[in-house]
Structure 1
Amino acid sequence: MSKNDPPGLTARSAASLPRRLSVGLAVPLALLIAGALLTAAPAQATDSAGPPPDWEQVQELATYNGAMQAFEDPEIGPVIIFASDYAADIDDLRHPDDWTDSAGNTPSSWPTPTTARSVLFTADDVQQITEAVYTQLAPDADQTYDVYTFYDGPTDRMIVSTDAPASLTDPLVNTYDGKITLMAPPA
């Protein structure tokens, strides 16, 4: 994991992401980032033994069903979050019949994670905020500031990790009141 990867992402999912994004890549990369977030549980949710034994299955359920994020909640276990406008039944998740885990095993049963819809975000909202962040903080692929944004299921907020000054970030926070949480980039 490099110093510019967001907290909670494994090296596998974040290693291929560029440190900074051009505005033209913001939308497609936002979808890639959302997919990458599906593959990583928050750091605090795993112990030294690693993620729960069925974590790969939870990730696959989230990806296969088009979720925004999956994470391990220390109180209730695996959680899968869907966009507020997700049309399918979140209580009856589909799973692929031909899927195998990283050890080549076909599951005989699937976990039943807690599911929920975002209170604040449609899939388009996530894209819109991601585009606005990069337009404001890295216009025309400007690399003056470290900028990274992603949807965080446990808080139902967009996290903007940046070293940009308040004069640039405050307008975003005000425009998307209650939807953005700012944090400093990892050291």
Structure 2
Amino acid sequence: MDEDLQQYLEQVRLEHEERIFFLKHHLGAEVHWFFSQGSEALKQGLILPACTSFIIGIESSLRVTMAQIEKPAPVEELDPTRILSNRLLVAARVAGLPVNKLAFPEETDFIQKLESVKPNIRNVEIVRVRHNLCHGNILEYINKDLGEDNYFFTPECCLKLAMQLLIVSKAWVEELGKFRQAMQHT
């Protein structure tokens, strides 16, 4: 085979692997499409939809898996009060889910935050980001580099966050897939 064709085929293979990454971990359609769509949105430069899709994928995967652990049957309804929170993550951790994979790359105090209690609760980063971003609080992402009179926000201000969420999502999905496979065989 000629070298150009080999390079082309390798590029196609890599793109295919990337496209199906979130689909091949057996999380179910009610979960994996959030991650897949987040990845596709990021590739298209749709940074805010990518961020929210990854967050919703994480939240959905936790809620669905916990519901299946509590009642081993097809999930037909999720408890609307059980949202992504430290409390849900603690319950998931007790159930054996690999919640440590939800720590952001530089979040070395994930477990300490998770174990914090009232009145000094400190949300883990994925929970803090979920609460802020999903409620429209983007103030921490406003670019202030140009001086006080030139603050601005564009979706690109959240690009670092989107990349962190992609990294966290991939690690989470991979480990959650293993957990769910083991759960089916017990």
TM-score by shorter chain over 0.5 = no
Greater fraction strand? 1
TM-score (norm 1): 0.33
Select the structure with the greater relative contact order (CA < 8 A; seq sep ≥ 6).
2
Greater fraction helix? 2
TM-score (norm 2): 0.34
